[in-house]
Amino acid sequence: MSVKTTTYILKEIVDIFVPIFASTFLTYIIETINLAYVGHLGDPFLISGVALGTIYFYTFGLTVLMGFNSVVATLVSQSYG
């Protein structure tokens, strides 16, 4: 059994970290971009509509998909493990 060096381990961690960070950052930047575009229109009702739409997206869309992802991860790990 070979001993892994610290740089090899750090490279593996960075290889996993970068895509996860990018996807999380891009997911949350959507709200900022939407609010910036609608904010230039100057109507507070439109800004509140975008904010509520983002809340519904995270609550009913993204959260449900993350729940399905955790269920599938559990079932796959049990079937192969």
pLDDT over 90 for what percent of the chain? 37
Mean pLDDT of 53-58: 87
Say yes or no to pLDDT of 1 above 80.
no
- How far is CA 10 from each of CA 1, 4, 7, 31, 32, rounded to the nearest angstrom? 19, 10, 5, 32, 32
Say yes or no to pLDDT of 79 above 60.
yes
Mean pLDDT of 60-67: 86
CA distance 2 to 57: 47
Domain locations in the chain as residue ranges: 6-80
Written as six digits, the tokens of 72 are 């599938």
Residue 4 has a pLDDT of: 80
